[in-house]
Amino acid sequence: MTNSAPDILRLLRRAAFGAGALALAGCSSTGGTGVVGATTGGDDSESSYLGSTANLASLGDVVQRNPNDPQAYNMRGTVLARTGRRQEAMADFSRAIQLDPNYVQALANRALVHRQTGRADLALADYNRAIAADANYAAAYVGRGNIYRTQNRHNEALNDYNRAIQINGSNAQAYHNRALVWAAQGNHRQAVEDFTTALGLAPNNSEPYYGRGLSYLALGDNKAALDDFNEAVQFDQRNADLWVARGQALERTGDNERALGSYTKAMSVEENHPGAREGFNRLGGRSGQTYRLFN
């Protein structure tokens, strides 16, 4: 039995909502020209600076020695946000903005934390302030576009992603998120093109393979979809949606044995995943039985 279109649409919605990884700007430049190779989904970032708890003590010392330096607060806020301490991060970003009202990195970082905590209105206000301060700051356009996208304001989202790409043609996040809009609008051929561009710019990620695979499924190119899902699981084996999508591609190619293996794998990650349960039951899967996952 083949899968219905709503199955793919449901996975596309989950893919869109899942592509919001926290990516914060830690450097002090104002131009939006940086590229992050670690991820293509979510918001853009100005540097590949990675925060950890080990950095907090030293950054705290920097803040103490430089109490009026907005960059010090922004850097510490970046690490705090990445380690889940959002309220403290918000305080640091706000202090940086108090010291420099046109500090676009801090504005975009605070906007992202607002968005992560469900305050899209405050996030939009900060992204708008960042864009007003620097009309060439690509990260703010990507971040604002992501809010528009999740609010189904697709034309506004496309305008922002187009502007980010105009500023920086190597902005993988902008291409990836624009692809999600194309897919949501049913323009899967254009989505495939943008996912492919994102992969060319940042190839070691599961998200663009997953998104492109879903668009290939929607276009009926099941072999290409399966190839992409096989690539994606090499980078992320804890994504139940990905295993379900792979199961659908295998089911469509008539490989029910490995499809059952993928649905079983998805349920091992997320026990009550509806798509995995439906696929497993549809193919007559038996609890406790082992199914092939790969060759």
In a domain, 152, yes or no: yes
pTM reported for the whole predicted model: 0.85
- What is the 3 state secondary structure string of 202-264? CCCCHHHHHHHHHHHHHHCCHHHHHHHHHHHHHHCCCCHHHHHHHHHHHHHCCCHHHHHHHHH
- What's the CA gap between 278 and 266, in Å, rounded? 11
pLDDT for position 10: 59
For residue 32, being part of any structural domain is answered with: yes
User: Which value, to the nearest 10 degrees, does the dihedral of the CA atoms of residues 226, 186, 188, 136 take?
Assistant: -120
Q: Return averaged pLDDT per consecutive 10 residues of the chain, 295 residues in all.
A: 49 50 46 36 50 68 87 91 92 97 97 95 98 97 97 98 97 97 97 98 94 97 98 96 98 97 98 97 95 93
Residue range(s) defining the domain that contains residue 166? 20-172
Q: Is residue 280 part of a domain?
A: no
- pLDDT at res. 175: 97
What's the DSSP call for residue 287? T
Give domain status of residue 275, yes or no: no
Task: Name the strand (E) or helix (H) holding 284.
Answer: none
d(CA 272, CA 137): 42
Confidence (pLDDT) at 15: 57
Neighbours of 118 (CB within 10 A): 9
**Pairwise CA distance, residues 191 & 215, whole Å:** 7
- Residues 191 and 228: their CA atoms lie apart, in Å, by 14
Is 153 contained in some domain?
yes
Q: Is 71 a member of any domain? A: yes
| Structural domain contains residue 154 | yes
CATH of residue 99: 1.25.40.10
**Contact at 8 Å (CB) between 217 and 249?**
yes
Quote the number of domains for the chain: 1
Q: Is residue 240 part of a domain?
A: no
- Name the residue type at position 135: A
Q: What is the pLDDT of residue 201?
A: 96
What whole-number distance in Å separates Cα of residue 228 and Cα of residue 5? 19
